[in-house]
Structure 1
Amino acid sequence: MSTFGPLTVDHELQPAHVDVVRATLPLVGANIDAITQIFYARMFDARPELLRNLFNRGNQAQGAQQRALAASIATYATHLVDPTLPHPDELLSRIGHKHASLGITADQYSIVYEHLFAAIVDVLGAETVTTEVAEAWDRVYWMMANTLVDLENRLYESAGVVAGQVFHRGIVTTRTEDPSGAVVIGVTCDWPELRNNHPGRYVSVGITLPDGARQIRQYSLISDTDAGEVTFAVKPIAASGGCPAGEVSNWIASRLRTGDLVDISIPFGDLPTAEINTGPTVLISAGIGITPMNGILEHLNNRGTRSEVVVLHADRSPACHPLRARQRQLVDGLPNAVLELWYEEPGDCADAHQGRLDLTFVDLPEGASFYVCGSSGFVQAVRSQLVASGVDQSRVHCELFAPDEWLLG
């Protein structure tokens, strides 16, 4: 959630617009994949620099970004025509923080609008997209866009920067090879004042690749942010299942060295962690999803928390477990913390469960706040287990390292 509290979402669609959106939402939804494919093709043809220097080329190649955009607009429109449905503030907050970390500005929404609405007409036909239909969906788009612009401007103001000016040139001061194959990168920069009371945030890192494209990726902070330095971990990503290899992560892991310069953003992120030191906390992760959880553990250690902390992690094997030694150190440094591990291939690790993470083995503290990070499938499975255990969904907070398709539907 945004640190500014619940977002104000304008529900004042005119009655005629409500009727039109409700009537056409199934048609738009049925064609949304075709609409977004044409939209991106049109936009990147007109503005190729956006694909080279802003949008994630890997997500574009596998269609993930298109589906995320489709889900966000459909979710927002559905709520506007039926305000009894869950409020979309979590969706909007997540998008707003990601946009701020990329330096998105208000004028870029007009670029999206131009090509998105041209794509809608291309797919549905001018005979379907009448003046009334166009006006209604125009209103939906700009209500959502203006809500996001307002949030992003407040994030920039809170960070003390001009809108969009979030990147700074930093120098790599440390590089550590983790036994799992991940690399830990420390960057020092001439930052504006950094606030370290919200662990679980991330930075955007901009890398110029060999073909000249400047690609940007977000990485969770694994340190408790202090003046001038941030630390994050990067795990190489191999091509798999039709998904391309990780362009930026693999470049960082193979080529970024101490003394190199790198573009890095001010930290952002909407995990609600401002009061994490005041009650029981459960941290649940898989794979490289451990990174925001270790950042939270660093924060709790530095503040000497005596609250109950339960740390749960799942991985393929002990050798694949990123930041394993540091996680254990951080848990051991807290007086009321426990660590439970699950490995599909535990080997000789006697203190780990075998198989997938199973919450029936865990005593969950009453009234705890839950933080979950991993793949989409892992997060979905954990959420289902928590709900089945009677945990109120409002106390479950998730972070994903991919477009949030599952969250937006």
Structure 2
Amino acid sequence: MSELLNDLKFRGLVNQVTDEEGLAKVLEEGDIRLYSGFDPTADSLHIGHLLPVLTLRRFQLNGHHPIGLVGGATGLIGDPSGKKAERTLNTADIVQDWSNRIKGQLSRFLDFENEKNPAIIVNNFDWIGKLDVISFLRDVGKNFGINYMLAKDSVQTRIETGISFTEFSYMILQSYDFLNLYQNNGCKLQIGGSDQWGNITAGLELIRKTEEDSKAYGLTIPLVTKADGTKFGKTEGGAIWLDAQKTSPYEFYQFWINTDDRDVMKYLKYFTFLTHEEILELENEVATAPEKRSAQKALAEEVTKLVHGEEALQQAIKISAALFSGDIKQLTASEILEGFKDVPTTEIEEDEIGLIDLLIQAKISPSKRQAREDISNGAIYINGDREQDLTKVITNEDKIDGKFTVIRRGKKKYFLIRYVK
């Protein structure tokens, strides 16, 4: 078996393969072209997309040619796979804008400048958009039997709740993508999540019917799950996006650092490029010293650096350390904004304000009596420092970069004061 397939199996990244023996053989014979598709259903990819992207990267690092397909056409249709109801259709200009954004994100992970095996980006609107209805029905649609399509899980699961002809045709369009890339780019392998198995095998069937002596393969990656049963990639704040404007590097880092012990080894294998030896060493540490959380730290650092870069990783670590130690004063205003994005925020116009009045105005304490008690009891912290002076006045010295003051009540309740003029 090829070294690459062995690595994918070690990492648990092989869910289904159409012809494992045949694929292993072509991988050993030389470099191949492979693709994975990404429909622009939002203005950013999220970490649910990260696994196929990184799998393309693994193939490229092993000398193969990855193709990132942006679904400018299929994004206008909607994939029924894994969906309980019809998607809301977006306008062409929105899909075009989202397609361009996704192209940019894919370029962070795939090397387009490599002289030996550069990656390429394609948009299926370039060929699907040129199809007329008659050609589509006669040349492509005639290869698909209705019974064959109805038997696919992506369709079967929607029969009871309803599926439109639009989404029903998605399988044919994705199959046509594979055929087009096979014919024009020599692409022999499609990879995707396990929910894409039906679409991938349909594409292989279309190639088989259209091309003589065809050799093409399909490989699916497991859908990522969490041991506690909750959905991977979701938090109380919503999805974890790859766009730093939608999910900050600090939030991204925190998502990974908080990984359950039961999941951390699986995620290290899935999402990092650590060697087998490094992963096994961390696995031993999880077993013998889980309290050190060495595996979680390695996971958070590796994935954050991969997605956002070294500088953003170091900033995320700095914010995390400041919040853990309580030393808020070392942070800049931009780091405060990132680290306290979701805490209650109050805008203050006064240059100076008494601490008791501030606690009332920011609803940190419900009354002046309670505010005095909180201060006297040592429950109030200003920028990480305990404050027990009842006459304390907040001045410029208490403002980080002249813009923010962080108040903590008790051990964990943070409040952000923003100064506006």
Alignment TM class, shorter chain as reference: under 0.3
The TM-score, its normalising length taken from structure 1, stands at 0.27
Larger relative strand fraction: 1
**Could you say which structure has the larger radius of gyration?**
2
Larger relative helix fraction: 2
The TM-score, its normalising length taken from structure 2, stands at 0.26
